[in-house]
Structures are given as C-alpha cells and as structure tokens.
C-alpha cells in the first residue's frame, strides 16, 4: 500500500487517475449514485444466481436434474443438458458484458475535458489516450473476472459427471473461467468496435 | 529565455495572430494586452503547445519547444483564462494529480499542497468537489497548481479573473517576488492598472498584430500619455467609448 501512495511515472499516474474516476463516477455508492452501484452488483451476481436458484428450487425434478441424468445409462442426456445449460450461462454472462460495454464505451476514450484539464501538464496526448484505454481495459477485465468467479466455481459441481473426458474439478473450473472470460472480452470489444464505426 | 519568433496562426485561412515576436528574459514580467479577440489567448495556447502555429516558432533556452514539448511543459506554470478542472475531484485531489504528473515526490508534494491550500484560504474547502467551488476558488486552485513545481516560466492568462481583492494583492506581490528570483512571467490581462504596476515591459496586440512592444516608461514618453490605459486606448480604440455608451443608453430608453 505504501508503494501505491508514492509518485510514479506519468503513465502510471494517469492510469491511477482515470481508474479512480471510473470507480468514483460510475460505480461508487457516493450520495446520489447508489443506483448504478446496485445495478453493477446485481449484474455481477446474476449469472451465479441463475445456477444457485435452480439448485435451491422446490421442484425436485428440476433441482436434481443432473443427478437423475447421471443415473441413466445413456450419457448423451447429461451431456446435452450440460451443453444447453453451459450455453445459457455463457449467453447470460455475455449479455451482461454487452450491457456494461454499451454503458461504458464512451469512457474508453479521452474527452475534451481530459485534454483541457491536463493541457498545462507535461503529458503527451498519446499518453492520455493510452492511460484512458488501459484504465478502461483494467476496469472491464476486473468486472468480467468478478462476474465469472462464482459461475466458474459452481458450474463444475452442477454439470460435473462421468461423461467428461477429464473430470478434475479445477480443470473444469479453469476451462469454464477461460472460455466465458474470453467470450466476454470478445463481446466487449466487438460492441466497442461497432460503436466506434458510427 | 523565451523567444517567440514571427508566430502566426490562421483558422481557415483567416489570420488570428500575425507575425508576433517577443522575448522574455529571466526576472522579467511581460504584460500581454489587447482588446477582445486580439489573439492573446491564441498566442498563449501556441506558446504552451496547445495549438500548433501556422508559421513561426517558440524557443525556450535556445531550443524549439516542439522538439521536446513535455520537457518544456515541465518547466512552465500555466493559468488558463477558463478554469478547466475535473468537477468530481476535490481541490486537494486536483493538486495531487498535477503534482504527481509533474513527478513531485509524495513527501514534498503533500506538504506543499497543504501550505498552498492554507495560504490561498482554501483549507476549509479542500475536500469539497471542484464543482462546488466559486470561480475565484477554482482560479486559486489553478494558481496553486501552476506554482507547485517552482516553474522557470509562468504564463498567466487573465489570472485575476474571479479573485477577491486580497488574493489579487497577494498575487501582485508574488509576481514581483518571483521576478526578483529570476523567474520569467508572461502576464496576459485586461486589467491595465495591475499590469502597469508589475510589468517591466508591455506588448500591445490589436487584431492579431503587435502595435507596441516596449517598456511602459518609454511608451509614456514617446506617446506623451500619462497611463497605460490611455496608451492602450490610443493604439487600439476604433470608437469613442463615451459615444458608444451614450448610444447604448439611447437604445435602452427607446
């Protein structure tokens, strides 16, 4: 923490400034800004909630779907169900990411205010641009990572079964985190690129 | 030394600043005056590197500033005409940002910020967001930011804008003190009586062109005028101000 408090290079200081601004402006629970913070938190837990809600449902057929399928002789049923649920989960995570990208895409690039407020300081325009982009990338990656943590831990338990080639829990969790994380990044930058076309 | 050589700026082919040249030596305060739209702020923006000149160049300590703009900007303090600050930051946070981007180490920076905030009477409001500050308070923050790193060259564009009388007097004394310590100061303003008191030389700009560039005493002698205001009026006035005021009154009462 002490290292963070010290003065570092221009690029680091700019990233610190822009990152702080994103957290202050968009996601903090400072007076009058509790709604975006609440929506942000809700969106982070939504994908994990999808899995947890089903596990806790009163309908025994639905809650123990995988147990029943695992008992069946044919592995094709459990595999098809897992793929369908996996696709639904990734779609939901990707949709939340898309929503974040739509809300945040304007923050990716420096505004006129950034250039004017930093005009008299020894900072190059490209350093401002790079820092702004880096801070947004860090922020998005953190959001995507946070959104994927719980689903990646729950999914192997939920979908795990004898049909898998490699039934190691941690491998399955890693694969889940990697695939949905990359899907999120793809969607995030695809939306930013599409917005940039206009 | 700051050398401004034949600086010209055209917007869509229309000249806004034409062939402006002057030098600023250590220990000198140069007054940069002109009526509205004369090209003062455009010149200042070209000097600090915010605008690219159409022609001419700016040299600092013998080197063109364009060659290494960040190094030049590291040695200047700039107070813009319009305060452009991040509204969500507090005054203290803005000064921290400015100091850190200038590479000032935390231990030195924090004590400097605290002292400047106290001296500019902003201590009580140091944690308030800039959006809640008055124009004068924002101006004080910009002045503090410009002074934090003890610059060699200070460029002030209407620095008295919004400042109370006490702070204006403090600033006047401060400028004289800085000049006595060998700092260069470019002072662009409409407030002629302050310029007359603090500036060693003055450059008068009209419609983008230099119409006078000399010491105030010499201008007084050659133009047989007693004040900078009358010299300025003689060089830049196109209308009789009394007649214009009378015409406005007539329009109001019609």
Per DSSP, the three-state class of B29 is strand
Q: Which of 27-66 (B) contact A at CB < 8 A?
A: 48, 50
- Is A117 in contact with B78 (Cβ distance < 8 A)? no
For residues B169 and B239, membership in a common domain is answered with yes
Question: What's B234's domain CATH number?
Answer: 3.40.50.300
Cα separation of the two ends of chain B? 55
User: B76 to chain A nearest CA, in Å?
Assistant: 8
In a domain, A7, yes or no: no
- Is B106 in contact with A6 (Cβ distance < 8 A)? yes
User: A13 to chain B nearest CA, in Å?
Assistant: 6
Q: Please choose, from the candidates A124, A126, A174, A169, the residue with its C-alpha nearest in 3D space to the C-alpha of residue A149.
A: A174
pLDDT tens, A48-82? 666 665 655 666 666 667 777 777 777 777 778 87
Confidence of residue B32 (pLDDT cuts 50, 70, 90): very high
Complex ipTM value: 0.73
In a domain, B80, yes or no: no
Domain that holds residue B141: 85-149
Number of domains within chain B: 2
In a domain, B111, yes or no: yes
Please give the average per-residue pLDDT across A121-135, as a whole number.
Answer: 86
Number of domains within chain A: 1
A107-116, B25-34, B68-77: which has the minimum mean pLDDT?
Answer: A107-116
User: B229 to chain A nearest CA, in Å?
Assistant: 31
Instruction: Return the number of other C-beta atoms located less than 10 Å from residue B183's C-beta.
Output: 19
The DSSP secondary structure of A128-194, one letter per residue, reads HHHHHHHHHHHHHHHHHHHHHHHHHHHHHHHH--TT-S---HHHHHHHHHHHHHHHHHHHHHHHHHH
Task: Report the phi/psi class of residue A8: left, alpha or beta, with left for phi > 0 and alpha for psi in -120 to 50.
Answer: beta
In a domain, A32, yes or no: no
Given CB atoms, is A23 within the 8 Å cutoff of chain B?
A: no
For residues B159 and B142, membership in a common domain is answered with no
Q: What is the pLDDT of residue A3?
A: 77
Cβ neighbours for B188, distance < 8 A, ≥ 6 positions apart: B31, B32, B33, B40, B41, B43, B44, B81, B155, B156, B157, B158
Given CB atoms, is A24 within the 8 Å cutoff of chain B?
A: yes
| Cβ atoms of B160 and B118 closer than 8 Å | no
In a domain, B217, yes or no: yes
For residues B71 and B98, membership in a common domain is answered with no
| Cβ atoms of A55 and A63 closer than 8 Å | yes
A162-166, A190-194, B44-48, B67-71: which has the minimum mean pLDDT?
Answer: A162-166
């Amino acid at each position: 923490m002490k290292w963070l408090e010290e003065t570092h290079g221009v690029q680091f200081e700019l990233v610190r400034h822009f990152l702080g601004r994103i957290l202050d402006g968009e996601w903090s629970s400072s007076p009058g800004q509790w709604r975006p913070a609440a929506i942000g938190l809700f969106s982070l837990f939504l994908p994990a909630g999808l899995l947890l809600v089903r596990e806790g449902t009163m309908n025994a057929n639905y809650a123990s779907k995988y147990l029943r399928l695992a008992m069946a002789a044919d592995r094709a049923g459990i595999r098809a169900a897992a793929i369908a649920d996996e696709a639904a989960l990734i779609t939901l995570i990707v949709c939340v990411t898309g929503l974040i990208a739509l809300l945040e895409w304007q923050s990716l690039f420096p505004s006129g205010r950034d250039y004017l407020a930093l005009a008299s300081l020894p900072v190059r325009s490209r350093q401002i641009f790079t820092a702004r982009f880096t801070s947004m990338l860090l922020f998005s990656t953190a959001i995507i990572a946070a959104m994927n943590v719980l689903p990646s831990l729950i999914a192997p338990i939920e979908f795990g079964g004898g049909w898998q080639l490699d039934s190691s829990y941690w491998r399955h969790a890693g694969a889940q985190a990697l695939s949905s994380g990359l899907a999120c990044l793809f969607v995030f930058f695809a939306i930013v690129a599409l917005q940039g076309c206009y | 030394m700051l050398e401004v050589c034949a600086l010209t700026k055209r917007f869509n082919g229309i000249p806004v600043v034409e062939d402006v040249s002057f030098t600023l030596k250590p220990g000198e305060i140069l007054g940069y005056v002109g009526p509205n739209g004369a090209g003062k702020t455009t010149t200042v923006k070209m000097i600090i590197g915010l605008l690219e000149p159409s022609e001419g160049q700016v040299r600092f300590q013998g080197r063109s500033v364009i060659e290494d703009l960040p190094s030049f900007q590291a040695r200047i303090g700039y107070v813009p005409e319009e305060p452009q600050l991040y509204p969500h930051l507090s005054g203290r946070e803005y000064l921290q940002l400015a100091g850190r981007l200038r590479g000032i180490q935390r231990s030195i920076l924090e004590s400097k910020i605290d002292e400047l905030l106290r001296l500019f009477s902003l201590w009580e409001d140091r944690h308030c967001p800039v959006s809640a500050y008055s124009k004068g308070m924002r101006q004080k923050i910009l002045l503090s930011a410009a002074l934090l790193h003890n610059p060699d060259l200070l460029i002030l564009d209407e620095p008295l804008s919004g400042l109370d009388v006490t702070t204006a007097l403090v600033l006047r004394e401060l400028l004289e003190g800085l000049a006595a310590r060998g700092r260069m100061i470019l002072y662009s303003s409409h407030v002629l009586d302050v310029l007359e008191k603090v500036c060693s030389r003055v450059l008068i700009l009209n419609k983008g062109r230099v119409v006078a560039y000399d010491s105030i005493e010499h201008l007084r002698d050659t133009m047989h005028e007693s004040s900078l205001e009358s010299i300025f009026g003689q060089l830049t006035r196109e209308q009789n101000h009394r007649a214009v005021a009378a015409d406005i009154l007539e329009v109001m009462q019609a």
